[in-house]
Amino acid sequence: MANSPSGDSMIDRLVRVLASFDPDHQSLGAEEIAERAELPKSTAHRLIGEMMRHDLLQRDPTGRIRIGVGMWELSNRASDAVDLASVSRPHMMGVHEFVGENTQLGILREREVLIIERMSAPNAVIHRSKTAGRLPAHASSCGLVLLAYAPKHQREAYLRGPLAALTEKTTTDPAALRTMLTSIRSHHFAELSGHIDEGTTGITVPVFDAGGAAIAGLGVVIDSEHRKGVPAIMRVLRTASARITQDLTADHRFAD
């Protein structure tokens, strides 16, 4: 790939354009993309035009730019995350019907949790996580579950990195996080209140593959003040997790 005068490749620039979009910026103007991608305006305009010709980007009715259907088509062809979401969805529906607020499935990607499936009700508590959105692992119940079951060297590497606080309740002290992770491994679930959004509680259990590795976190995000009892939610989550594992074991896509 040809490099720009600054030394970055075409792929680097394309990725930066795509990374300009996030759950809070789902549509952008061309100049906003240039600024967020740290590209000259002329380069950004040229890349946007080329990406639109391949349906990687598209314009919405207001003329602003969004991720295009071509990206959706590509992401649905060979993604293990898409397959995992598909297998998990029927069991998530049972959890969602019981809880009546938000149910989600997340996987660990470097220092963040990637939400690969999410279900929400019209009257559910509002929170930050969205399908295809990312959250800091140390601030979310799903992230802590996955860190708890990750290899020790991976946990320690994470704890040495930046640990930003999203609210005043977010735990950022490495020693305190180590204690939390030990407890999660002992009790096989995580419960966090107000660590990402004030007034919300996240409860997550691990989802295991056929080999016993924790590959995802299945959880709910609910209103901290109006919720069903945690033991009842835990039973529903653990039953759904066990059934997902059974289906993964029987699915040839997840065979060793």
DSSP 116-159: EEEEE-TTSPP-S--TT-EEEGGGSHHHHHHHHHS-HHHHHHHH
Stated pTM of the model: 0.74
Name the token pair of 59. 């314009």
> Which pLDDT belongs to residue 7?
60
What gap in Å lies between CA 238 and CA 207, rounded to an integer? 9
> Which pLDDT belongs to residue 198?
85
Beta bridge partners of 217: 106, 206
What gap in Å lies between CA 238 and CA 246, rounded to an integer? 12
- Ordered strands of the 102-109 beta sheet: 134-136, 112-120, 102-109, 214-223, 200-208, 190-193
Beta bridge partners of 104: 118, 219
Give me the tens of pLDDT residue by residue for the chain, a chain 256 residues long.
Answer: 344 545 678 889 999 999 999 877 889 999 999 999 999 999 999 999 999 999 899 998 899 999 988 887 776 665 678 889 999 999 999 999 999 889 999 999 889 998 889 998 877 776 665 555 788 999 999 999 999 999 999 999 999 989 999 999 999 999 999 999 999 999 999 999 988 888 889 999 999 998 899 999 999 999 888 666 888 999 999 999 999 999 998 876 665 5
> Which of 21, 68, 28, 22 shows the shortest CA–CA distance to 45?
28
What gap in Å lies between CA 224 and CA 182, rounded to an integer? 24
What gap in Å lies between CA 158 and CA 137, rounded to an integer? 9
Classify 83 as helix, strand or coil.
helix
Work out the angle between the directed axes of helices 230-250 and 80-99 (0-180°, nearest 10): 150
Classify 201 as helix, strand or coil.
strand
What gap in Å lies between CA 173 and CA 163, rounded to an integer? 8
| CB crowding 206-217: b at 16 or more within 10 Å, else e | bbbbeeeebbbb
> Which pLDDT belongs to residue 3?
46
What is the CB neighbour count within 10 angstroms for residue 143?
A: 27
> Which of 185, 199, 184, 191 shows the shortest CA–CA distance to 229?
191
